[in-house]
Each structure stands twice: as structure tokens, then as C-alpha cells.
């Protein structure tokens, strides 16, 4: 070992003087979103950038989650355990960017433990971030409320352990989950590889259950543009959870821009 490798760690807190003065951001003068996302997630960051109106920016921080092979419920439980272990440090880093609002760009964690678990997660994130927070479970509900949907169907990339928690959450909130289609993707990276030839048949199958609305969970599915098109094919609201999350965060910030390409939420609500 070198002398540097054996030297005691330096106390970096000595002399630390955090600057709390706020300045208008040169690019994000309307809103500066802090976005949390798992390290292997390749889709949500790009979709959020596509949705950002002028004057809104996304400051993204990836927390460590392994690109675990998923062949069982236990594999998904391990992914969730890594999320719980590492997300706090990722929030702390985003605080240094003086974000205006925190977005959790991973929807599965927001359903774990049903309503009680979801509310606890929101409180934990809000307290740590020092600002308001938007998560997938809450955003999906707001989307359903916007169109008056009570009978809902879920499209997910998950194994049953996550699907069951999502169904539990919505049931506890008074929704009737009439159909669920879980794709059982083999890893987080595999989620990000799903294309129209898989997603269109899945959403069409869910529509046969005649729900009031369909929501796709799992922010690493590239579904935002497909959802926009599916609303026209199927004649009912079809929401990408990523779109619902970003729409909710903007509306909470008082940003009411409407634009095409991401479905009825952004076009009409």
C-alpha cells in the first residue's frame, strides 16, 4: 500500500459553510426538479427531458441499484432493498442543487406496503429534501381523478410481488383493479428494451377488460409516446406513469403548460 492508501480519512466537515442563499437558475428559472432514478434506469431521464417546458430543468441523480437478474419475486425484493438503502444519500446530493421539487423516478417503491408504506415514503423523502415530492402512486391517482376513472387496469414490467403491492395500494384507495398485465422482465435493463411489439398487445389485452383507464407502471418502460397513441386507438385514457409523475410535479409548481405528444393529461388537464 502507498502512504496515501494507509492515511486516515480526512474530516471534510471542517470549514464547511453551506450557502443557503438562493439565486434564479439561468436555465430553470420556472422550476428546478431534482430527479431520483435507479442506476440501471435508461428511459425516465430522457422522457422527462422531452417533457420539460421552457424554463424547467431536471437535475438527475442515480442511486445504486444492481442490474439484478430477475427470475422471481425475491429478486425484485432485493432491488427494493437496495433502493431503500441508497436513496437517502441520493436525496442529500440533490439538496445541494437547491431543487424546487423532488421527483422519484422509480414507481415501484411508491407502492410497497400499500397506502401506509407509500405515505411513509413520501414523508421520508419530503422531510429529507426540504421541499415537496412527487411519487408514482400519488401521480397515478391524480391522473385517474382528472378523468373520473374508478375501474382501472395496470400494465407493469414486474413480477407478482410488485404487482400485488400496486393492486393493494389502489384497492385501499377505493379503485377497482379489473385487470393486471405483468411482463416479468428479466432485469431493469431488460425493462428498458421493451418496444411497441410487446407493449401494444399488452395494453390492447387490458382494454378488453373495459376499464375506465389504463396506467402503465415502471418508469423504465418507454411507454409515454405509445400511451398517447393508444388513447386514440382504444378510446379511453391510457397513462404512462412517467408522464403522470411529471405532469403532477409541474401542476404542483403552478406550471400549467399544455402540449401534444404525451397524451390527454398534458393536452387537456
pLDDT for 22 equals 87
Cβ-based neighbours of 242, under 8 Å, separated by 6 or more: 43, 44, 47, 48, 105, 219, 223, 224
Band of pLDDT at residue 5, cut at 50, 70 and 90: low
**What is the share, in percent, of the chain residues with pLDDT greater than 70?**
95
| Cα(203)–Cα(181) distance, integer angstroms | 8
**What pTM, to 2 d.p., does this model score?**
0.93
Which CATH architecture describes the domain 137-240+264-268?
A: 3-Layer(aba) Sandwich (3.40)
DSSP 130: T
| Cα(250)–Cα(233) distance, integer angstroms | 27
| Cα(167)–Cα(179) distance, integer angstroms | 10
How many Cα atoms within 13 Å fall on the side-chain side of residue 254?
Answer: 3
Distances (CA, A) of 191 to 48, 70, 157: 17, 11, 6
pLDDT of residue 8 exceeding 80, the answer is no
Which CATH architecture describes the domain 26-136?
A: 3-Layer(aba) Sandwich (3.40)
pLDDT digits (tens, 9 = 90+) for 164-182: 999 999 999 999 999 999 9
Domain ranges in the chain? 26-136, 137-240+264-268
pLDDT digits (tens, 9 = 90+) for 225-261: 999 999 999 999 999 999 999 999 999 999 999 999 9
| Cα(177)–Cα(182) distance, integer angstroms | 13
Is residue 109 within 8 Å of 82, Cβ to Cβ? no
Q: What is the mean pLDDT of residues 210-236?
A: 97
Amino acid at each position: 500500500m502507498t502512504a496515501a492508501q494507509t492515511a486516515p480519512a480526512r474530516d471534510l466537515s471542517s470549514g464547511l459553510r453551506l450557502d443557503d442563499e438562493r439565486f434564479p437558475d439561468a436555465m430553470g428559472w420556472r422550476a428546478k426538479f431534482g430527479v431520483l432514478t435507479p442506476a440501471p434506469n435508461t428511459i425516465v431521464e430522457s422522457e422527462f427531458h422531452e417533457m420539460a417546458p421552457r424554463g424547467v430543468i431536471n437535475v438527475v441523480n442515480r442511486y445504486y441499484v444492481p442490474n439484478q437478474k430477475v427470475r422471481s419475486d425475491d429478486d425484485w425484493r432485493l432491488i427494493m432493498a437496495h433502493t431503500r438503502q441508497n436513496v437517502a444519500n441520493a436525496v442529500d446530493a440533490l439538496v445541494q442543487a437547491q431543487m424546487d421539487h423532488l421527483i422519484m423516478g422509480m414507481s415501484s417503491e411508491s407502492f410497497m406496503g400499500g397506502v401506509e408504506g407509500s405515505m411513509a415514503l413520501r414523508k421520508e423523502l419530503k422531510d429529507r429534501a426540504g421541499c415537496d415530492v412527487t411519487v408514482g402512486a400519488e401521480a397515478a391517482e391524480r391522473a385517474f381523478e382528472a378523468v373520473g376513472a374508478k375501474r382501472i387496469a395496470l400494465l407493469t414490467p414486474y413480477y407478482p410481488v410488485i404487482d400485488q403491492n400496486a393492486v393493494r395500494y389502489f384497492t385501499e384507495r377505493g379503485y377497482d383493479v379489473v385487470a393486471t398485465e405483468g411482463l416479468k422482465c428479466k432485469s431493469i435493463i431488460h425493462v428498458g428494451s421493451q418496444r411497441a411489439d410487446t407493449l401494444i398487445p399488452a395494453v390492447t389485452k387490458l382494454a378488453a377488460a373495459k376499464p375506465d383507464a389504463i396506467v402503465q407502471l415502471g418508469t423504465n418502460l418507454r411507454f409515454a409516446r405509445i400511451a398517447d397513441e393508444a388513447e386514440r386507438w382504444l378510446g379511453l385514457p391510457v397513462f404512462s406513469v412517467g408522464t403522470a409523475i411529471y405532469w403532477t410535479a409541474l401542476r404542483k409548481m403552478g406550471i400549467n403548460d399544455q402540449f401534444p405528444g404525451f397524451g390527454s393529461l398534458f393536452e387537456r388537464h
